[in-house]
Chain A
Amino acid sequence: MEEQLVYTRPDVVADRATHYCPGCHHGTIHKLVAEALIDLGVVDKTICIGSIGCSVFIYNYLNLDTVEAPHGRAPAVATGVKRARPDKFVFSYQGDGDLASIGMAEIMHCANRGENVSVVFVNNTVYGMTGGQMAPTTLLGQKATTCPAGRCEELEGLPIRMAEIIGGLGATAYSARVAVDSIKHLKAAKKALRKAFACQVENRGFGFVEFLAACPTNWKMTPIQANERVASEMIPHFPLGTFKDTTGEEQ
């Protein structure tokens, strides 16, 4: 039988192994980002804002002009970049500790100003890089190194739902939550990301996509268990869906 090439690595994805742990979803999400940039034909005019956390090396994996932002400040850096170069495609890539904790003010105000930028938000309910501390998105009962008995509402509050909050802001053009734990979810994620990015291309304004992601290492699970946890534990608290869509297109 003749071999048929059905899939290749897009050029914007660097030809090298990543440092991500086996089963980590960062790599999959990187690839979706690359594909969305290619789909929209903006690779050559993209400026990526890297942040702090396991994804800090995004510039090693995506062949894009990149600037690294201090912890949580990527939306402010993105604002500066986009204001300086309004004709470029600008996106930030941020974890939950980065975006929903230290960077809460920056993300809220960037969205609320309706900055014409896109934000990729990777929610793995934990601080990955620093070794599994509690994040603002850590689920109730979930153990982390700084809530060893499991997160409890009385002491630590409830896990924050960012896609809903961002969707509630007037100036947001698009906000959705997606997952990459199954082919079905992956397809929907691809669509959502494309829509969020298209908002910027069409000058509609701020686009936000929250990815539910696995962190097998800090969840102390096998890659398969971690992948399953996304559906069994995360999605019930963080429902998938679109929370704001000003494009008028069908969901």
Chain B
Amino acid sequence: MTQQTPKRIFVKGNEAIARGALAAGCRCYFGYPITPQNDIPEYMSKAIRDAGGQFVQAESEIAAANMVLGATACGIRAMTSSSSPGISLKQEAISYMAGSELPGVIVDMVRGGPGLGDIGPSQGDYFQATRGGGHGDYRLLVLAPASGQEAYDLTIKAFDLAFKYRNPVMILGDAILGQMKEPIVPWVPDNLDPDEAAHWQLDGAAGRPPRLHKSLFLQEGELAGQNIKLQKKYKAMEAEIDYEFFLVDDADLVVVAFGSIGRITKSTIRKLRAQGKKVGLIRPITVYPFPSEVLKDLATQGKRFLTIEHNMGQMVEDVRLAIRTITDSDFYGCLPGNLPTPDDFEEPILKALEG
């Protein structure tokens, strides 16, 4: 990693993502306005063009995601961003990208739902993000940053992973992350050549047999073969599992929380630790693939669990799946659209600690 600009800059999480994408060599950005992620297309409309790339405000989220599909079929680093209702519209193209093994990067700055919901923070798209969301047996790599710096870093990582696995990668943030301003230290990856030719890129079949990116497999056994190949890939993606441990070692109770809620919970835990309470935090950074083995390990050590989410209970299903043969997890959900504070989590954590 190169500290090309060792200076700190003060930016919103949304801008951190846009800057991260540019540092990662993103050449094409296609988007459509929706709160709370508008800073991304707004930033890109100038910055990516200044960098010699392409910006299109598409006619819809559907079109934007399909533009990404087209650009990535050419081996170009391309991204789109949106928020919940817009992500629903992108699912068709995401499923096609997964089926055609194309490496798009999709940002979801989640807002409250279902339906039009509100524009406040929420983690209500966890299922949609980690279960595919579109049709068919497919998976995305889903990265959930908790700070501006992490948003920047993980966006760079998202492009690498997308190309490594030839699979769509999603950045799962929320309105807290997107709208909060904080200092970050930008950097650019070493040895990155975003224009490096991919062996599968479409660029006209001069002097070689034509290449094809498709998700239609009609001959008997063909689709089965493709799905087996995809499942192997999803299994291999487990090598990317990432999480943060905070005061877990001697904890009796481990809180599981991701993204902004993970970060807020950390403050609660700091406070409770000062009172001698043995609580810790595990914050999944990849929410798909999920750090199941790590949780199971902790369960084997006799720790108890509390899952805290900004929804009515989604990730808790993954936590329970991971530890089901040993123990269970309590759950505390805060209502979408509200902005939780560290104090809000004190009581549920104490309650879980006392069992």
Contacts and interface: CB of A to CB of B under 8 A. Distances in A.
Given A67-B73, A76-B62, A85-B76, A47 B67 contact: no
Contacts of B93: 70, 73
Contacts of A46: 204-205
Interface in A99-120: 105-106, 108-109, 113
B56 A83 contact: yes
Contacts of A84: 27-28, 54, 70-72, 74, 76, 78
Q: How large is the interface on A (under 10, 10 to 19, 20 to 34, 35 or more residues)?
A: 20 to 34
Nearest to A59: B212
B67 A80 contact: yes
B66 A73 contact: yes
A78 interface: yes
B3 interface: no
A106 B70 contact: no
Contact of A65 (B28, B71, B96, B205): B205
Contacts of A82: 70
A64 interface: yes
Contact of A44 (B100, B204, B212): B204
B24 to A, nearest CB: 16
A44 B204 CA distance: 5
A88 interface: yes
B204 A77 contact: no
B30 interface: yes
A147 B97 CA distance: 35
Given A84-B27, A109-B59, A49 B203 contact: no
Given A44-B204, A45-B204, A64-B205, A73 B210 contact: no
Contacts of A64: 205, 210
A93 to B, nearest CB: 14
B214 interface: yes
Given A56-B216, A80-B66, A109-B59, A89 B204 contact: yes
A226 to B, nearest CB: 26
B352 interface: no
Nearest to A66: B212
Interface in A39-61: 44-47, 49-50, 56, 59
B76 A67 contact: no
B66 A77 contact: yes
Interface residues of B, number: 40
Contacts of A85: 74, 76, 202-203
Contact of A68 (B64, B205, B214): B214
B100 A79 contact: no
B241 interface: no
Contact of B28 (A73, A83, A106): A83
Nearest to A72: B62
A77 B69 contact: yes
Contact of B74 (A50, A68, A81): A81
Given A76-B58, A85-B76, A63 B210 contact: yes
A63 B67 contact: no
A69 B76 CA distance: 17
Interface string B280-324: 000000000000000000000000000000000000000000000
B335 interface: no
A79 B28 CA distance: 11
Q: Please list the 6 inter-chain residue pairs (A to B) with the smallest Cβ-Cβ separation, ordered nearest first.
A: A80-B70, A80-B67, A45-B204, A44-B206, A76-B66, A77-B70
Interface of A: 44-47, 49-50, 56, 59, 63-70, 73, 76-85, 88-89, 105-106, 108-109, 113
